[in-house]
């Protein structure tokens, strides 16, 4: 593999890599604003300047300058190496590059920072980006000086509503053009552009348009400073209080890798951020996915309920025992959930096939929706492929309705409350069951029709494995503590089995995972973001 030296370290690179890309692959950050691994390279911020040493026999590339001579009290002609943008310069085998070790580079970084902060309002105490802002980070690392300008800074528009999701502050903008390039190159909707010149530069929305569509949140995410903020997260939390779990978006079968940010002090989830994964979502997520973290708190079922009334756990289990006593196994169905993890569905399969001895297996989940060629999958469930792997013979939900209508199924245990449609006639059919037990996280038709509802944790409260549409198994870590009386579904199913007097083969999550690895999921995700096929 070809390689070059960066500050004396050997950096192997792939053909086509720029210096910054190759360094980034090796965990070395060359400071930058405009460069983003998933976007084109405008090389306009100049923060990434490096010194490339001439190859043996080559003339050094020099720049004529006027240098301040303190003794003489005047500027004098001088020269210095011409620095080059690491984001645009291709890595060349054997080249030598100086960054942190070059005094010229240090001066350049300092100068770029000072220039960017010349008219900046430095309103960090009320800025949502504070704590994760590149201007702050690089000031600390490369500038460290007070502002020298004493004039009134140039003022520009603040709090400009770009559309239903994004607010723009031109005074904080460093004009890196990442937002413009994201909309043009990834979202394929060139709705943003730059207007004016010099220190009057600002980002603007195309006339007659607003910044809308399916990928607006990503403009905020790529913005390296606090110039773009989302209406959803604006003024809600200070990022230094947030912790992060490596999660998997539950919004569709793409299974985008995400950071789920939560505040452990009030046990609330505050936002999603994309987690880079070249094989799944690269660096991106869609707006619906970014907003889907709200599901961790909205429409939740947090108590055991029998016939619509809140009861304790013991009363609910007693009711289940009575409802299922003496029922012939041919009349009992189980319903897997494409919304739940492999672990939860595995426990239900075990209960169905080993415990209850039924072969009436069905599966449910949300119905299909919008899709595109960028990221969004029409299957709005995160684990349809996982359910199909675990229970290949399970039939889709409409088949269950037919069996109930024909009187062949009279009792059912369902995981998850979602059904592909919310037709009143389907709910009416479900209500003809003599007994329906639903293990549910949120409200939905299967919870509504159930005699007994057991509250189960969401993906945000319990770790679980999900198989995306490409067949990749990915583990979502738990973030917050379980809400209300909710417990992981595999644990609730264990209690159901014990209440029914059935044998069980699991008591702990690690036993389920061990069995999944051996029998059902070669290479199943032991690690967050594992993507083995």
- Contact residues: ligand SF4, CB under 6 A: 173-179, 203, 222-223, 225, 227-228, 249, 251-252, 254-256, 281, 285-286, 288-289, 375-377
Nearest to 251 by CA among 295, 301, 299, 297: 295
Stretch that binds ligand FES, among 30-38, 94-102, 117-125, 425-433 (CB under 6 A): 30-38
Whole-number Å distance between alpha carbons of 297 and 286: 20
Burial (Cβ within 10 Å: 0-12, 13-18, ≥19) of residue 80: middle
Considering CB distances under 5 to 8 angstroms, the limit depending on partner class, which of ligand FES, ligand SF4, none binds residue 288? ligand SF4
40 or 79, CB closer to ligand FES? 40
Q: Contact with ligand FES (CB under 6 A): which of 6, 22, 43, 494?
A: 43
Stretch that binds ligand FES, among 33-41, 310-318, 381-389, 442-450 (CB under 6 A): 33-41
Query: In whole angstroms, how close is the CB of 109 to ligand FES at the nearest point?
Result: 11
Output DSSP code: residue 442: B
Query: In whole angstroms, how close is the CB of 255 to ligand SF4 at the nearest point?
Result: 6
Whole-number Å distance between alpha carbons of 241 and 261: 10
229 or 492, CB closer to ligand SF4? 229
32 binding ligand FES? (CB under 6 A): yes
47 binding ligand FES? (CB under 6 A): yes
CA distances from residue 218 to 177, 323, 374 in whole angstroms, order as listed: 13, 50, 13
Residue nearest to ligand SF4 (CB): 289
Query: Is 127 in contact with 238 (CB distance < 8 Å)?
Result: no
34 or 248, CB closer to ligand FES? 34
* All residues at 6 or more sequence positions from 152 whose CB lies less than 8 Å from its CB, including other chains: none
Query: In whole angstroms, how close is the CB of 487 to ligand SF4 at the nearest point?
Result: 26
Whole-number Å distance between alpha carbons of 25 and 1: 14
Query: Is 87 in contact with 35 (CB distance < 8 Å)?
Result: yes
Query: In whole angstroms, how close is the CB of 382 to ligand SF4 at the nearest point?
Result: 7
201 or 532, CB closer to ligand SF4? 201
Q: Contact with ligand FES (CB under 6 A): which of 19, 22, 34, 305?
A: 34
Whole-number Å distance between alpha carbons of 117 and 174: 9
Phi, psi of 272, rounded to the nearest 5 degrees: -110, 145
Query: In whole angstroms, how close is the CB of 288 to ligand SF4 at the nearest point?
Result: 5
45 or 414, CB closer to ligand FES? 45
Residues from 63 through 102 that contact ligand FES (CB under 6 A): 85, 87
Query: In whole angstroms, how close is the CB of 373 to ligand SF4 at the nearest point?
Result: 12
Nearest to 459 by CA among 300, 221, 286: 300
Considering CB distances under 5 to 8 angstroms, the limit depending on partner class, which of ligand SF4, ligand FES, none binds residue 87? ligand FES
Q: Which residues pair with 80 in a beta bridge?
A: 63
Query: In whole angstroms, how close is the CB of 228 to ligand SF4 at the nearest point?
Result: 5
* All residues at 6 or more sequence positions from 470 whose CB lies less than 8 Å from its CB, including other chains: 279, 280
Stretch that binds ligand FES, among 37-45, 199-207, 236-244, 249-257 (CB under 6 A): 37-45
Nearest to 92 by CA among 186, 11, 201: 11
Query: In whole angstroms, how close is the CB of 388 to ligand SF4 at the nearest point?
Result: 18
Considering CB distances under 5 to 8 angstroms, the limit depending on partner class, which of ligand FES, ligand SF4, none binds residue 48? ligand FES
Query: Is 154 in contact with 199 (CB distance < 8 Å)?
Result: yes
Whole-number Å distance between alpha carbons of 123 and 236: 17
Query: In whole angstroms, how close is the CB of 223 to ligand SF4 at the nearest point?
Result: 3
Nearest to 22 by CA among 50, 61, 62: 50
Interface residue list for ligand FES (CB under 6 A): 32-35, 43-48, 85, 87
């Amino acid at each position: 593999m070809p390689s070059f030296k960066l500050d004396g370290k050997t950096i192997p690179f792939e053909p086509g890599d720029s210096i910054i890309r190759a360094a980034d692959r090796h965990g070395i950050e060359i400071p930058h604003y405009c460069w983003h691994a998933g976007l084109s390279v405008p090389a306009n911020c100049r923060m990434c300047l490096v010194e490339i040493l001439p190859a043996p026999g080559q003339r050094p590339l020099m720049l004529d300058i006027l240098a301040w001579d303190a003794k003489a009290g005047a500027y004098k002609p001088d020269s210095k190496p011409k620095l080059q943008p690491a984001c645009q310069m291709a890595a060349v085998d054997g080249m030598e590059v100086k960054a942190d070790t070059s005094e010229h580079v240090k001066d350049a970084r300092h100068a770029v920072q000072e220039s960017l902060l010349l008219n900046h309002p430095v309103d960090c105490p009320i800025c949502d980006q504070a704590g994760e802002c590149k201007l702050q980070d690089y000031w600390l690392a490369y500038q460290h000086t007070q502002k020298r300008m004493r004039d009134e800074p140039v003022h520009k528009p603040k709090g400009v509503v770009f559309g239903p999701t994004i607010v723009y502050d031109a005074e904080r903008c460093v004009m890196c053009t990442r937002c413009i390039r994201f909309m043009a190159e990834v979202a394929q909707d060139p709705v943003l552009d730059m207007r004016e010149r010099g220190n009057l530069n600002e980002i603007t929305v195309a006339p007659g348009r607003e910044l809308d569509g399916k990928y607006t949140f990503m403009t905020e995410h790529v913005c390296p400073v606090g110039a773009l903020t989302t209406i959803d997260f604006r003024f809600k939390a200070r990022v230094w209080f947030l912790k992060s779990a490596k999660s998997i978006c539950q919004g569709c079968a793409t299974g985008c890798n995400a950071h789920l940010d939560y505040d452990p002090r009030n046990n609330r989830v505050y936002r999603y951020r994309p987690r880079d994964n070249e094989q799944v979502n690269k660096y991106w997520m869609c707006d619906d996915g970014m907003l889907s973290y709200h599901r961790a708190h909205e429409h939740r079922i947090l108590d055991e309920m029998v016939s619509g009334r809140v009861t304790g756990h013991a009363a609910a289990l007693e009711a289940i025992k009575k409802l299922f006593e003496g029922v012939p196994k041919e009349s009992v169905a189980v319903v897997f959930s494409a919304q739940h993890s492999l672990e939860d569905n595995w426990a239900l399969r075990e209960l169905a096939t080993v415990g209850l001895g039924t072969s009436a297996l069905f599966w449910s989940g949300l119905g299909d929706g919008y899709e595109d060629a960028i990221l969004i999958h029409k299957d709005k469930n995160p684990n349809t492929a996982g359910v199909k792997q675990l229970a290949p013979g399970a039939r889709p939900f409409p088949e269950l309705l037919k069996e109930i209508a024909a009187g062949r199924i009279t009792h059912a245990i369902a995981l998850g409350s979602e059904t592909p449609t919310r037709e009143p006639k389907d709910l009416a059919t479900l209500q003809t069951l003599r007994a329906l037990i639903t293990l549910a996280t949120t409200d939905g038709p299967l919870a509504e029709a159930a005699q007994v509802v057991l509250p189960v944790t969401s993906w945000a409260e319990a770790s679980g494995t999900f198989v995306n549409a490409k067949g990749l198994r990915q583990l979502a870590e738990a973030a917050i503590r379980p809400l209300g009386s909710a417990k992981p579904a595999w644990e609730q199913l264990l209690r159901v089995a014990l209440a029914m007097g059935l044998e069980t083969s699991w008591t702990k999550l690690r036993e389920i995972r061990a069995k999944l690895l051996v029998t059902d999921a070669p290479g199943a995700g032991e690690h967050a973001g594992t993507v083995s096929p």
